[in-house]
């Protein structure tokens, strides 16, 4: 089991994961109900509309809206449910940017779990990076960072004129594609990994 945490990174969980769909805070509660119903997690991430400026995507994150939030709001509205359904989501969602964190695809799975333990509900991960294989080896020779595709890292370093680091990937603008990972995504990945481990023959002593 320990090998799953030590030899997998968040980038492994993004394989086949669709691009994040932004639900804008200007949308109505009625639209939010439909979106929540179609979401496997039973909650949606709410975003501010892009102003066209090149800035980190996570800066536009507002908060997370779930079905309980919507039910509580409609109940509080009393008899005027039609008005409640037309209310912008910005008046319902509780702003909390701490619920989402943008992470490098090379972030260790065990570190991602620690972030979730500290209250992070969604991990924003940039898609489209090239990896050599599914699992990455961990090396203490690189300051505890996961080894990435050396060619890509070298090209990025030359372009920036400085050594590559995990912080460099946290500064992209909205032109990049992202996916959003939830706690449920990590749990599903761990269950699948455990299933594979149970099918593996025991190693000789």
How many Å apart are CA 84 and CA 110, to the nearest integer?
A: 42
How many Å apart are CA 75 and CA 143, to the nearest integer?
A: 52
Does residue 4 carry a pLDDT above 60?
Answer: yes
Residue-wise pLDDT for 154-205, tens only, equals: 344 344 344 333 333 444 455 678 999 999 998 888 888 777 666 656 556 5
How many Å apart are CA 120 and CA 90, to the nearest integer?
A: 21
Does residue 131 carry a pLDDT above 60?
Answer: no
In the chain, pLDDT over 90 holds for what percent of residues?
45
In a domain, 162, yes or no: yes
Q: How sure is the predictor about 16, in pLDDT bands with cuts at 50, 70 and 90?
A: confident
In a domain, 204, yes or no: no
Mean pLDDT of 115-125: 94
CATH code, domain with 169 = 3.10.580.10
Enter the pTM of the model: 0.72
Mean pLDDT of 120-128: 91
How many structural domains compose the chain?
A: 1
């Amino acid at each position: 089991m320990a090998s799953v945490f030590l030899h997998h990174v968040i980038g492994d969980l993004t394989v086949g994961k669709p691009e994040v769909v932004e639900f804008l805070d200007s949308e109505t509660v009625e639209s939010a109900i439909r979106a929540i119903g179609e979401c496997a997690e039973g909650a949606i991430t709410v975003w501010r509309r892009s102003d066209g400026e090149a800035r980190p995507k996570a800066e536009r994150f507002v908060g997370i809206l779930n079905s309980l939030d919507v039910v509580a709001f409609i109940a509080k509205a009393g008899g005027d449910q039609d008005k409640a359904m037309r209310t912008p989501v910005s008046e319902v969602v509780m702003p909390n940017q701490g619920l989402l964190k943008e992470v490098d695809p090379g972030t260790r799975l065990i570190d991602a779990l620690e972030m979730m333990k500290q209250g992070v509900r969604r991990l924003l991960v940039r898609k489209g990076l090239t990896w050599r294989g599914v699992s990455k080896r961990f090396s203490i020779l690189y300051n505890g960072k996961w080894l990435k595709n050396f060619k890509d890292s070298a090209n990025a370093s030359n372009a920036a004129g400085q050594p590559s680091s995990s912080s460099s990937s946290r500064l992209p603008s909205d032109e990049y594609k992202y996916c959003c990972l939830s706690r449920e995504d990590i749990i599903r990945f761990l269950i699948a990994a455990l299933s594979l481990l149970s099918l593996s023959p025991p190693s000789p002593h």
